[in-house]
Amino acid sequence: KPSLSFRVRFRLNRSLTPRSSDNSSGGMDHAAVNWNFGKRQQWSLNVGKQSASLGSWEFEKNPAYEYQYSDFINSQTNIFLTAARLGHQVNENHAFYLQLHNTWNDNFETIHKARDYAINGLEAAKLPLGVYLAWTGNFFGNKLQTFYSYNVSQFAKNKTNQSVALGNK
């Protein structure tokens, strides 16, 4: 039988100001509903503010213990985004995910101004969306855990961003 759950995570040490694109507080990391379904609950659909399916465990840690994220996580990517993620648990060791997401929680102009990036003639994309494809795997009795992802997105008009992340632990 299907199961429904939710996850909310709010950091009090972040700005309460609403973001210009998704209108959520800067302190809101998660506010999502998850639905598990299928004969063996092997399918999942997660909708709302959630973690990017980025091949990294860095931001899965409790933020009370993670004082400084890497520059890539902190400045170059949006790790807590509004998205819909479809997942399939193939077996107890492997799962695949497809996540459709907004590229940033703030609009084009706000991001460039806040980070002091030069716009250099770039324009905002009409529909700033992206897609993550991710795979998680466990090998050798969980001695090697993988979280690999590929992302393609567009934030600026006619400019496509692509990334590959290979997380191992």
User: 3-class SS at 92?
Assistant: coil
Q: pLDDT at position 116, please? A: 73
Phi then psi for 59, rounded to 5 degrees? -95, 5
| pLDDT, position 139 | 96
d(CA 89, CA 59): 22
For the record, the structure tokens of 142 come out as 């969980």
pLDDT digits (tens, 9 = 90+) for 126-156: 888 999 999 999 999 999 999 999 999 988 8
Cα 23 from chain centroid (whole Å): 17
Question: Which pLDDT score is estimated for 53?
Answer: 86
> Each residue of 92-132: pLDDT tens digit?
999 999 999 988 777 777 777 777 777 788 887 888 899 99
Nearest CA to 32 among 104, 83, 97?
83
Helix ranges, 96-144 (H) = 108-114
pLDDT band at 64 (very low <50, low <70, confident <90, very high): low
Q: What percent of the chain shows pLDDT beyond 90? A: 40
What residues pair up with 131 in beta bridges, in sequence order?
100, 152
Q: Scanning the structure block, which residue is given the tokens 């009370």?
A: 64
C-alpha to C-alpha distance for 37 and 109, rounded to whole angstroms: 40
Neighbours of 146 (CB within 10 A): 15
CA geometry: angle at 9 spanning 6 and 13, to 5°? 170
According to DSSP, residue 60 is labeled G
CA distances from 126 to 21, 72, 163 (A): 13, 25, 21
